[in-house]
A and B are shown apart, each in its own frame.
Chain A
Amino acid sequence: MKVTFPHMGHMWICLAAMLEYLGVEVVVPPPTSKRTLTLGARHAPEFACLPLKLNLGNFIEAAERGADTILMAGGCGPCRFGYYAQVEHAILEDLGYNYRLVVMEPPQRHVGELLSKIKYITGHSSWWEVIRGIRFGYQKARMVDELERQAHYLRPRESHRGSTDKAFQRALQEIIPVKHPRDLPKAAERARKIMAQVAIKPRPVLRVGIVGEIFTLLEPFANHDLERKLGYLGVQADRSIYLSEWINDHLFLGLVRGLRSRREACRAAPPYLNHFVGGHGQETVGSTVIYARQGYDGVIQLLPFTCMPEIVAHSVLPGLSNELDIPTLTITVDEQSGEAGLVTRLEAFVDLLARKRGVVV
């Protein structure tokens, strides 16, 4: 069995770590690229959202490397994502790929449901081993998120353009090859040291929160490297959901304490949006409220074209933006997105924020 899974930012680092620790052979799809998108968009329904197209492309490219089993998340509720695993599998079958499909539905009652799915893939591992494997993958996710946060802080302040990105890539190379939990702390130290070496200059920096649909938030290919672009424009970005937070919320049901969670975001959403609308719609509204309270300069909402939950949130944002005095910008992405248009909107938005605050970035 050679297991593959779709790309979503740096998720592969933590998934591969977990599965390989449990002795499963893993085929990581090649990094999501224009080719991935071309393959996916060719075979996906036109009005499906970007995540489906990219997932499909990932699976086709992984098959070229010998993958035969798909590990995919499921879901429920108004967002279509819940049936993407089945739809993608059916499309792949029509195309002649012989994939086995394992869907990890978010546990409804307890973590046991999730564990049994993982145990199905790992086969012979003991329960204890499975739990240790999950913990190992999760620790890697925490580490990657920490490095990414560090990069968000450094990028607008770096003395030499591009030095943060280089350091970040080198730091990741310390984390990725670690095969056993006992080696992780030392690798983490080395990674932190690399990030600490980036030279910075004190300068006025704007703070912008990024909210929206999780896949477009986490996958830099889908959002045209939004965080890097913002960094270069002198903006310290904060993402409203990081991978480790999402894992804790949705797979561990909030078991790990002390992390930012979707519950705070959902609590902050009323009276603008009082109930679940699917996907991360309610979190988008709530996180925007939280960012406004924390004194952020602005908020950017990201969504794939045709994403229903985010469209609901989008229609709520203008009123909220007026009342709480926080500028918002909505960016919709799909395979038709052009980069020049995105850059113009970002520059204009940052100009607006800078002039409002009276700083020159």
Chain B
Amino acid sequence: MKGYLGIDVGSVSTNLVFMGENGKIREAIYLRTRGQPIFALQEGLRQLAERLPANTVVRGVGTTGSGRYLAGIIAGADVVKNEITSHAVAASTLVPGVQTILEIGGQDSKIIILRNGVVTDFAMNTVCAAGTGSFLDQQAARLNIPIEDFGELALKSTVPVRIAGRCAVFAESDMIHKQQMGYSLPDILAGLCEALVRNYLNNVGKGKEILPPVVFQGGVAANAGMRRAFEQALGLEVHVPPHYNVMGAVGAALLAREKMAGGGTSRFRGFGVAKTRFKAGGFECEGCPNLCEVVEITREGEVIARWGDRCGRWSGSLGCQENAV
């Protein structure tokens, strides 16, 4: 089997997909990053190798997410692209004609506006719309309900409570206040969804023209309560695509296919990477008062990449082909 590998290393989750040459998603893996992106990526590659037949050929690799450069070095990527582009490419391929993408992940919220299949505008959370996914996760844990049931519970609400949603600190204290007043759990959860949607539209979606079809993706799209809150606030139908939680990885795989269409061999280091010893170390450079924190990636004890210095003293001292992913 031949195909393309898409890798999305985010702050909360690490996702891998294997896409056949026809664009069909063969395998999708969703793992928690748990603050250890290298380990999560290696674990993902190991699981993927187990699931795929032995004769699999990887024709191209794309990485995305906040850990895209790290993942690109470790896996040997042919294309490294940011989340916005990857998500836009994935959504417009899976949902043809999409004009608005609402994307809420663990840490980042974004809105992407497309017209005629081209991204014309985007925005990411600024000061206070960050961490929506993590916040929902944390509230579910506090209320002792599995995060998977959060959305279904919220849907049972008949009269959502109004919750202050400007930032997580205020939202939590207001939620506690409403609990003490005796409101039912579903009403509070539905109110929280509405507050987060209100906050998203006021901060991230500000000034953007939201036209249908609207796609909602990212980990938070699993939450049916959030989806309904969006539909009510926008007065539009909101689609959640089948691979909503690995769309970044899907986009990265599509971009890898685009890049490799002209021919050439992939730089993929092979599934054996899962067994290689990678180490991320670092030191504080004392060359000037900037005290840059330089990150060093070693493979079996040999330095293969460095970054983080402002002046290029360290990142420029390695062979160019290793750096210039």
Is A341 on the interface with B (CB-CB < 8 A)?
Answer: yes
Interface positions of B from 88 to 126, Cβ below 8 Å from A: 118-122, 124, 126
Is B289 on the interface with A (CB-CB < 8 A)?
Answer: yes
Asked if A348 and B82 make an inter-chain contact with CB atoms under 8 angstroms apart, the answer reads: yes
Q: Bin chain B's interface residue count.
A: 20 to 34
Residues from chain A with Cβ under 8 Å of B126 in the complex: 332
Q: How far is the CA of A195 from the CA of B161 in the complex (A)?
A: 64
A315: nearest residue on chain B (CB-CB)?
Answer: B207
Asked if A162 and B312 make an inter-chain contact with CB atoms under 8 angstroms apart, the answer reads: yes
Whether A34 touches B290, Cβ cut-off 8 Å, given contacts A332-B126, A351-B85, A356-B118, is yes
A224: nearest residue on chain B (CB-CB)?
Answer: B310
Residues from chain A with Cβ under 8 Å of B121 in the complex: 327, 352
Q: How far is the CA of A161 from the CA of B320 in the complex (A)?
A: 9
Asked if A356 and B82 make an inter-chain contact with CB atoms under 8 angstroms apart, the answer reads: no
Interface positions of A from 345 to 361, Cβ below 8 Å from B: 345, 347-349, 351-352, 355-356
Asked if B119 and A30 make an inter-chain contact with CB atoms under 8 angstroms apart, the answer reads: no
Asked if B289 and A344 make an inter-chain contact with CB atoms under 8 angstroms apart, the answer reads: no
Q: Hey, what's the 0/1 contact readout for A16-31 against B, CB within 8 Å counting as 1? A: 0000000000000011
Residues from chain A with Cβ under 8 Å of B290 in the complex: 33-35
Asked if A352 and B119 make an inter-chain contact with CB atoms under 8 angstroms apart, the answer reads: yes
Tell me the minimal C-beta distance from B250 to chain A in angstroms: 17
Asked if B291 and A344 make an inter-chain contact with CB atoms under 8 angstroms apart, the answer reads: no
Q: How far is the CA of A25 from the CA of B122 in the complex (A)?
A: 51
Interface positions of A from 271 to 313, Cβ below 8 Å from B: none
Residues from chain A with Cβ under 8 Å of B310 in the complex: 225
Asked if B291 and A348 make an inter-chain contact with CB atoms under 8 angstroms apart, the answer reads: no
Asked if A355 and B118 make an inter-chain contact with CB atoms under 8 angstroms apart, the answer reads: yes
Is A223 on the interface with B (CB-CB < 8 A)?
Answer: no
Residues from chain B with Cβ under 8 Å of A33 in the complex: 288-291
A30: nearest residue on chain B (CB-CB)?
Answer: B289
Asked if B122 and A347 make an inter-chain contact with CB atoms under 8 angstroms apart, the answer reads: no
Asked if B288 and A344 make an inter-chain contact with CB atoms under 8 angstroms apart, the answer reads: no
Interface positions of B from 125 to 167, Cβ below 8 Å from A: 126
Q: Hey, what's the 0/1 contact readout for A114-139 against B, CB within 8 Å counting as 1? A: 00000000000000000000000000
A343: nearest residue on chain B (CB-CB)?
Answer: B82
Is B181 on the interface with A (CB-CB < 8 A)?
Answer: no
Residues from chain A with Cβ under 8 Å of B122 in the complex: 348-349, 352
Residues from chain B with Cβ under 8 Å of A318 in the complex: 207
Asked if B291 and A347 make an inter-chain contact with CB atoms under 8 angstroms apart, the answer reads: no
Query: Within the complex, which residue of A36, A165, A351 is in contact with B82, where a contact is CB–CB below 8 Å?
Result: A351
Is A95 on the interface with B (CB-CB < 8 A)?
Answer: no
Main secondary structure of the interface of A (DSSP, over half): helix
Residues from chain A with Cβ under 8 Å of B119 in the complex: 351-352, 355-356
Interface positions of A from 30 to 52, Cβ below 8 Å from B: 30-31, 33-36
Residues from chain A with Cβ under 8 Å of B194 in the complex: none
Residues from chain B with Cβ under 8 Å of A348 in the complex: 82-85, 122
Residues from chain B with Cβ under 8 Å of A161 in the complex: 320, 324
Is B81 on the interface with A (CB-CB < 8 A)?
Answer: yes
Q: How far is the CA of A355 from the CA of B116 in the complex (A)?
A: 12
Q: Hey, what's the 0/1 contact readout for B280-312 against A, CB within 8 Å counting as 1? A: 000000001111000000000000000000101
B320: nearest residue on chain A (CB-CB)?
Answer: A161
Is B66 on the interface with A (CB-CB < 8 A)?
Answer: yes
Residues from chain B with Cβ under 8 Å of A327 in the complex: 120-121
Interface positions of B from 19 to 70, Cβ below 8 Å from A: 66
A345: nearest residue on chain B (CB-CB)?
Answer: B124
A-B CB contact pairs (8 Å), 26 listed? A33-B288, A33-B289, A33-B290, A34-B289, A35-B289, A35-B290, A35-B291, A161-B320, A162-B312, A318-B207, A327-B120, A340-B66, A344-B66, A344-B124, A348-B82, A348-B83, A348-B84, A348-B85, A351-B81, A351-B84, A352-B119, A352-B121, A355-B118, A355-B119, A356-B119, A356-B120
Q: A residues touching B (Cβ–Cβ < 8 Å)? A: 30-31, 33-36, 161-162, 165, 225, 318, 327, 332, 340-341, 343-345, 347-349, 351-352, 355-356
Q: Which 9 A-B pairs have the closest CB atoms?
A: A348-B84, A33-B289, A318-B207, A347-B82, A35-B289, A33-B290, A351-B85, A352-B119, A344-B82
Known: A34-B290, A332-B126, A355-B118. 6 other contacts (CB 8 A): A31-B289, A33-B291, A162-B312, A344-B66, A351-B82, A351-B85
